[in-house]
Amino acid sequence: MADIATLLERNLQGIFGEGDDTLRRKVAEEIFHDDAVFVEPHGIYRGRDEIVRIAGIIRALHPTFRYSTLGRADVLHDKAGRLRWVSGVPGEPPAYAGTDFIVVRDGRIAAVYLFFDGAPDPTSPAVNDGQ
């Protein structure tokens, strides 16, 4: 059973920061419930397979970007946590920033909520096929 800070980091780097679909799927099987949900400004994606799929689409929008965390994760009662981050080309100023908020059930992620911090919102309406 992973702690919440570890789950947040693995979600950021191993799901949304990972360019390899096979590795992304492996991490997803370890950290997400089958019925997990991902909520972002343009859609809601239900189930591990949909989260893996949309993470791949989002990653492909900015394949050279890397995520860097801003401080440590905040954890609430071993049930939820949040992690602030920035993303962009290494060595250049960040292109955008966000905060991931997760809800954990039985040591795995049940829900991920993504908030973009400030402008711009780097996601494209083209990825908005969530329900």
- pLDDT-based confidence at residue 78 (cuts at 50, 70, 90): confident
Bridge partners for 18 per DSSP: none
pLDDT score recorded for residue 131 = 44
Residue 20 lies in a domain: yes
CA–CA separation, 27 and 73 (whole Å):
19
Residue 129 lies in a domain: no
Which residues in 77-105 are b (16+ Cβ under 10 Å) and which e? eeebbbbbbbbbeeeeeeebbbebbbbbe
Residue 36 lies in a domain: yes
Residue 99 lies in a domain: yes
- pLDDT-based confidence at residue 50 (cuts at 50, 70, 90): very high
What's 78's domain CATH number? 3.10.450.50
Determine contact, residues 80/101, Cβ cutoff 8 Å.
yes
Mean per-residue pLDDT over the chain, rounded? 91
Residue 94 lies in a domain: yes
Q: What is the number of domains present in the chain? A: 1
Residue 11 lies in a domain: yes
Q: Please give the residue range of the domain that contains residue 81.
A: 4-119
